[in-house]
Structure 1
Amino acid sequence: MTLRIGCIADDFTGGTDVAAAFRRAGLRTALVFGVPGDDAALPGDCDAAVVALKSRSTPAGEAVAESLATQKWLWSQGAAQVYFKYCSTFDSTPAGNIGPVTDALLDAAGAPLTLSCPASPPNGRTVYQGHLFVHDQPLDESPLRHHPLNPMTDASLPRLLSAQTEHRVGLVDWATVRRGVEAVREALLRFERDGVRHVIADALTDEDLAVLGAAALELPVVTGAAGLAEGLGHAYPSAGHAVADTPLPGGRAAVLAGSCSARTLEQIAHFHSAGLPALHLDVLAAAAGQDVASAALDWYEAQDRDVPVLVYASASPGELAAVQARLGVTEAAAQVEELLGTLAAELVRRGVRKLLVAGGETSGAVTSALGVRAVLVGDEADPGVPWTYTDGLALMLKSGNFGAPDLFVRALEDTTR
């Protein structure tokens, strides 16, 4: 096995997203959940290894410690380059965690600077003049301004990152990117001479990201979303064939959703409109001690075994605010994670073999509850949303904002045969 690149993702669906990007670039890719132990092994012959952490919203010191331990493990597996993957909407606060983690990885690698770009054009994320856009809206005017954990109130990436690091932040503008790989490399050399450590790059298209990936090929640490990771993957020498297509296993199919993003709410509404069975979980009742999980499992057992089901704790902004007002933000999130993790383990015990999970924190809770530590990455149902496989179980871990409105129905249709 020749591991070409290692990646640290700051949440579980982000790990799935970037693993799919490496696979599209022709790299055989494994996805590992949580900080690997010293004796951890990759599941098969891999060109890329992605380690998915739950470090996006943890205290900065904890995120740094976990990221450094993961970087060390990736080096032990042979990775010469480490990619730090964060959300394409730059989810973070002035306290971190993007800046502190990036600085720690650079310090450990002895690297003078890094290139950063969260653009993901297929998902409507682009960067122009250092400002991040979500489709046609600046980040701070998009639905992300209401994010329950990290509300994004500024679209300027240099300003956002400067609040998280004591080092200088520069920008490779779109005009430079359009001049090609050598122009970007020359700009990086100038920034290095000037003592700039973090270099944001504009990107409007996948072609721009391919240019940036080629320009960053020799950097020990690169950071960004899945788009830049794919551009970087394409810049590597041919890695052979990607993971062969894997048929979905037999057995029942289910969706567990905890994300409150606008896109996940659309996907839930589409599932309802398709006439498929869906159950909304009462988080306040669970917090009050009611056995909501057992009631949900009784409901599940009463459904047609040949039809996929949806169980969700997702809520509209108003409903979410009411729950958070009663429980607090942290306790509300913990209740959802515990409830959906418990249900995931019991559903798999009862025969579910295709499980689609919506939401980064939810995905972390589900994989932890199932004891899943590593998977191989397969086909995508939508950009950044692949099936993954382990021990007769197919998992799809979906970022809250990803996927078409019909994803839940389309991904699971005919899977129960």
Structure 2
Amino acid sequence: MSIAIIGDDLSGSNDTAVYFSKYGFSSCVLNYPEGFQLESGFCDVLAISTNTRESVPQEAAEVAKEVSTYLLQLGIDNIYKKIDSTFRGNIGAEVESIMETIGIPLALICPTFPNLQRTVHSGSLYIDGILLEETPFAQDPGCPVRESYLPELLKKQTSLNVSLLDLNTVRKGVEAVTEALLRFAGNGKCMVVADAVTNEDLEVLISVNRALLPPMLFCGSAGMSSVMLSSSKVFTQPKAPPVMIIVGSVHPHNRRLMDAATSAQAAGEVFLDPDCMQDPDMIAKALEKAETLLRENKNIILHTYQCAEARKASRDRARRDISEERELPANIGKGLQNFAAALLKHHLFSGIIVTGGSTALYILRGIEGAGVKMVEEMEVGLPYGTVIGGPLNGLGIITKAGGFGTEGAFIEGIAYLKNKYLKERGTE
């Protein structure tokens, strides 16, 4: 997850998040306070609805601070502040709070949404060509807006400087807008209201040379975010998330497939010692390695594979106790199940590759899957399908018997699952 949206109501947050989904990002919207800290590592884009549009300014600012602090803890620094296209809510208080919390000295604010006839000209907001204060939004029972001139409205909501970037400057192009923002920022922390009437105007605003500017917070309606996505100037197209390969079979052929994948730097190995499946220290170290690889968007191979000598020693230890010998395969299966399920719960994957029939069953049950919808064969002996049921319904899965598969099967399987993932989201 690398992008966050902070909105002040649920429908508006949904309106913005859905644009990201249309462009191939997996996005989710969580509510404050009950849901905003739920596990969301499976999303590219996390939208949080603070539900503070009708709150008093101080409360709205405090919630914005709490949410921003949480996003920083997640390591997210690409934040978009979603505002209402009719400028309802505590926009000044919330934007100032976010700027202060994440250390950003400049905010560019533009509620323009040309597709819905919401435009800003000479600092005033128009709805269908009518000044905001003359529309029904001025009489909104929960959050009336009786001022059309946005710089003046913002000054009543914030202690920061407020400036206007006029349409004449916007129409001069990116260089002129960048220079104007530099001048505004030179006077200290500030919010800049920008004129924009068309999507082309919004395109100019989001194309500013950010390398020359101090860190800047974009604040806009779904109109601005949709232009950002279509132009890829701020939010680049998502990469396919990693693939997890789970090797439960001890067939020696799998070692060759693993070596081929690691030699090609297609994946990193995470080893679970089959003799220590209940050892919290071993699990913690393996989890730390897996998390490190996933943070770098690297594919992982989760396995318990040992050399022949180590496998013999493990079996010999188990044979000293007949019950332990019988339980060893189940202990390994359950260990892989629990470890893989934890990663699948907290991270987004393009799909999984599982070797060994019993291992596949453990993994499927670990994610509450009822079965697999078969689609096609990636190569002989490696069927591809999607998980049926459970929270990961639709997850791509390739299964492989121990001795099956060409030497490059894992490498090809990774590319295959990632292509499937992107194709399903229209970003191939």
Q: Into which bin does the TM-score normalised by the smaller protein fall?
A: 0.5 to 0.7
Partner amino acid for 1:227?
G
How far does residue 58 in structure 1 lie from its aligned partner after superposition? 1.0
* Superposition map of 1:215-364 within 5 A: 215=208, 219-233=215-229, 234-236=232-234, 238-240=236-238
Map Cα deviations across residues 164-202 of structure 1 (whole Å, 9 max, x no partner): 112221111112222222221111111011236010001
Supply the distance in 2 between the matched residues of 1:56 and 1:50 (Cα, whole angstroms): 16
Partner residue, 1:198? 191
Partner residue, 1:19? 17
Is contact 2:30–2:36 with CA below 8 Å preserved after alignment? no
How far does residue 89 in structure 1 lie from its aligned partner after superposition? 0.3
* Superposition map of 1:118-133 within 5 A: 118-133=111-126
Partner residue, 1:81? 78
- Structure 1 gaps of 5+ residues are 244-389, 393-417
* Superposition map of 1:73-152 within 5 A: 73-92=70-89, 97-152=90-145
Count of residue correspondences: 240
Is contact 1:4–1:81 with CA below 8 Å preserved after alignment? yes
Supply the distance in 1 between the matched residues of 2:209 and 2:88 (Cα, whole angstroms): 23
Partner amino acid for 2:15?
D
Map Cα deviations across residues 236-290 of structure 1 (whole Å, 9 max, x no partner): 36324899xxxxxxxxxxxxxxxxxxxxxxxxxxxxxxxxxxxxxxxxxxxxxxx
**Partner-residue secondary structure (3-state), 2:79:** strand
Choose which of 171, 174, 185 in structure 2 pairs with 1:181: 174
With over 3 angstroms needed to count, the CA separation of the structure-2 counterparts of 1:4 and 1:145, relative to structure 1, is same
Is contact 1:36–1:70 with CA below 8 Å preserved after alignment? no
Partner residue, 2:147? 154
Supply the distance in 1 between the matched residues of 2:196 and 2:37 (Cα, whole angstroms): 39
- State the percentage of identical aligned residues: 33
**Partner-residue secondary structure (3-state), 2:17:** helix
**Partner-residue secondary structure (3-state), 1:140:** helix
Partner residue, 1:8? 6
Partner amino acid for 1:165?
T
Map Cα deviations across residues 112-148 of structure 1 (whole Å, 9 max, x no partner): 2210001111111000111100011110111212211
Map Cα deviations across residues 297-346 of structure 1 (whole Å, 9 max, x no partner): xxxxxxxxxxxxxxxxxxxxxxxxxxxxxxxxxxxxxxxxxxxxxxxxxx
How far does residue 36 in structure 1 lie from its aligned partner after superposition? 6.8
With over 3 angstroms needed to count, the CA separation of the structure-2 counterparts of 1:135 and 1:26, relative to structure 1, is farther
How far does residue 87 in structure 1 lie from its aligned partner after superposition? 0.8
**Partner-residue secondary structure (3-state), 1:32:** strand
Supply the distance in 2 between the matched residues of 1:63 and 1:242 (Cα, whole angstroms): 36
Supply the distance in 1 between the matched residues of 2:209 and 2:53 (Cα, whole angstroms): 24
How far does residue 150 in structure 1 lie from its aligned partner after superposition? 1.9
- Structure 2 gaps of 5+ residues are 242-389, 393-428
Supply the distance in 2 between the matched residues of 1:216 and 1:42 (Cα, whole angstroms): 31
Choose which of 33, 57, 63 in structure 1 pairs with 2:31: 33
The reply on whether 1:172 has 2:169 as its aligned counterpart is no
Supply the distance in 1 between the matched residues of 2:164 and 2:133 (Cα, whole angstroms): 20
Supply the distance in 1 between the matched residues of 2:166 and 2:96 (Cα, whole angstroms): 22
How far does residue 11 in structure 1 lie from its aligned partner after superposition? 0.5
Supply the distance in 2 between the matched residues of 1:223 and 1:182 (Cα, whole angstroms): 20
Supply the distance in 1 between the matched residues of 2:217 and 2:59 (Cα, whole angstroms): 20
Partner amino acid for 1:164?
Q
**Partner-residue secondary structure (3-state), 1:235:** coil
**Partner-residue secondary structure (3-state), 1:133:** strand
With over 3 angstroms needed to count, the CA separation of the structure-2 counterparts of 1:39 and 1:175, relative to structure 1, is closer
How far does residue 65 in structure 1 lie from its aligned partner after superposition? 1.7
Map Cα deviations across residues 345-371 of structure 1 (whole Å, 9 max, x no partner): xxxxxxxxxxxxxxxxxxxxxxxxxxx
Is contact 1:27–1:242 with CA below 8 Å preserved after alignment? no
Supply the distance in 2 between the matched residues of 1:224 and 1:23 (Cα, whole angstroms): 18
Supply the distance in 1 between the matched residues of 2:119 and 2:181 (Cα, whole angstroms): 20
With over 3 angstroms needed to count, the CA separation of the structure-2 counterparts of 1:6 and 1:216, relative to structure 1, is farther
How far does residue 217 in structure 1 lie from its aligned partner after superposition? 5.6
Partner residue, 1:72? 69
Partner amino acid for 1:82?
I
Q: Of the two, which has the highest radius of gyration?
A: 2
Is contact 2:53–2:143 with CA below 8 Å preserved after alignment? no
The reply on whether 1:212 has 2:212 as its aligned counterpart is no
Partner residue, 1:49? 46
Is contact 2:64–2:98 with CA below 8 Å preserved after alignment? yes
Partner amino acid for 1:90?
F
With over 3 angstroms needed to count, the CA separation of the structure-2 counterparts of 1:151 and 1:216, relative to structure 1, is farther
Supply the distance in 2 between the matched residues of 1:124 and 1:103 (Cα, whole angstroms): 27
Alpha-carbon RMSD across the aligned residues, in angstroms, is 2.8
With over 3 angstroms needed to count, the CA separation of the structure-2 counterparts of 1:41 and 1:201, relative to structure 1, is same
Partner residue, 2:59? 62
Structure 1-normalised TM-score?
Answer: 0.53
